[in-house]
Amino acid sequence: MRENTVAVFGIGKVGGPLAAALIRAGYDVIGVDVDQEKIKAINDGIPILPNEPEVDQTFTKAIKNGNARFTADGKEASSNSRFKIITVPVFLADKVPDFNALKLAVEAITPGINDDDLVVLESSVPPGTTKKQVIAAIERNLKIKVEKNFYVSYSPERIYEGRALKDIEENYPKITSGAGEKSLRLASEFYGKIAKRGVVKMSSIEAAEIEKLAEGIYRDVNIALANELALLCEKFKIDFWEVRNAANSQPFCNIHRPGAGVGGNCIPLYPYFLIYSANSVGSQLRLTEISRKMNERMPTVVVSEFIELFITNKKSLKTASILGLAFRGDIDDDRLSPTYEIIRRLKSLQVNVKVHDPFVKSASTDVYLTNNINDALKGADGVIIATDHSLYKDLDYEKISKMTGNFPIVFDTRGILYGKPNIYVLGSMS
């Protein structure tokens, strides 16, 4: 029945788990994606999100039972669904938001909108996007009015990769907003069926759009603070990790961990989304800007300190092994990973680079990547731990030396080997 059918536009790391949660809540789901190979894989029972528990299994079972199907035909999906959810990403192009994917999704949805349909945007966007890119386009093309003929909500995704389905269903309340009272009520009832923690109703769409960005910017600023303090502690020959542990014993202090940089398709983008919007109203976000620049320069700092270690220890660096290509531990997502900039800078210094990652299968640059850690470390003069994969926590200098076949310089940028002998740790370099 169309009344109980949801079309999810974008079956990726956000839309995939959301589609699974909707299926589990009893909705009929049409998954839409422009990637024909992905659609075929889902329909053939091939996992597309193997690191997200229960998602692929939910798809396979639902297809078999007839309450889910997956297609590349967005217009048909829109016509046969009452609820249309957009999860396609908004990217950056020269630090300016790129709305092309969103515009294409709206174009596909628009012809299929009937009276009382609900359109929801879940993508992280600059404030004002839902009204300018979604509501305005539908009203203009169909000559209809929101809150009278159709309804619109902005309800940002709130997931952590590797546990996305549980986050949607159990861990977080769902943020909802609406173009008006009717939209808000309908969206809240809709999401209330899948979010066990309930819904948080925002007073406006713009407030919800900024709320989502604020979550990510908070983390970006905090990580920048951690990086800045770590580098300062190095100058004073003070152990940052000791300082951090002591400071965080106070309940109102939560200094994050420093690292080689901040990656992923979320945190590095959110500051620029809000800076873009702030500039449009003649405002500046100086703290946000400074923090983003701090985190963006960390790969350069890491390489500089790595090279300095070789100079200090009077060793030569010909081959370096980097442990971790994913932007965060225990996931396979390498989007905007700071490791790529570390690779680029080392190669510019004529260093032979090998990369290990237990989850990432292919790199988006020309570099030797392997899932075999012994292969990655063999013959390395130096090792940089760039990602906090759980696998690396069991390493120590003796194990690393055995795999390299020599006595390498080991630089841990994530602090996961802090306290182990002969390991240089960012923020504790004395």
Q: How confident is the model at residue 2 (pLDDT cuts 50, 70, 90)?
A: confident
Give strand pairing partners of 409: 382
How many Å apart are CA 243 and CA 394, to the nearest integer? Answer: 24
- pLDDT of residue 1 exceeding 90: no
256-274 mean pLDDT: 96
As a whole number, mean pLDDT of residues 267-284 equals: 96
Domains of the chain are: 2-203 (3.40.50.720), 206-430 (3.40.50.720)
pLDDT of residue 210: 98
Percentage of the chain exceeding pLDDT 70: 100
Which band of pLDDT confidence, cut at 50, 70 and 90, is reported for residue 429?
confident
Residue 238 has pLDDT above 90, yes or no: yes
pLDDT confidence of 196, banded at 50, 70, 90?
very high
Q: Supply the pTM of this predicted model.
A: 0.94
Please state the rounded mean pLDDT for residues 163-192.
98
- Residue in 269, 150, 284 with CA at minimum distance from that of residue 212: 269
CA 145 vs CA 150, 163, 344, 377: distances in Å: 7, 38, 51, 61
Q: Residue 7 in 3-state DSSP?
A: strand
Centre a 10 Å sphere on the Cβ of residue 248 and count the other Cβ atoms it contains.
13
**Residue range 83-102: mean pLDDT, rounded:** 95
The confidence band for 430, taking pLDDT boundaries of 50, 70 and 90, is: low
Q: Is 95 left (phi over 0), alpha (psi -120 to 50) or beta?
A: left
- Spatial distance between the Cα atoms of 180 and 152, rounded to a whole number of angstroms: 8
Q: Which residues are catalytic?
A: 212, 266
pLDDT tens-digit series, residues 348-402 = 999 999 999 999 999 999 999 999 999 999 999 999 999 999 999 999 999 999 9
DSSP 3-state assignment of 154?
A: strand
Helices then strands, counting H and E runs in the chain, come out as: 17, 16
Tokens describing residue 386: 């760039």
| % of the chain with per-residue pLDDT over 90 | 99
Q: What is the mean pLDDT of residues 325-344?
A: 97
Tell me the average pLDDT of the chain: 97
Q: Alpha-carbon distance 75 to 91, whole Å?
A: 23
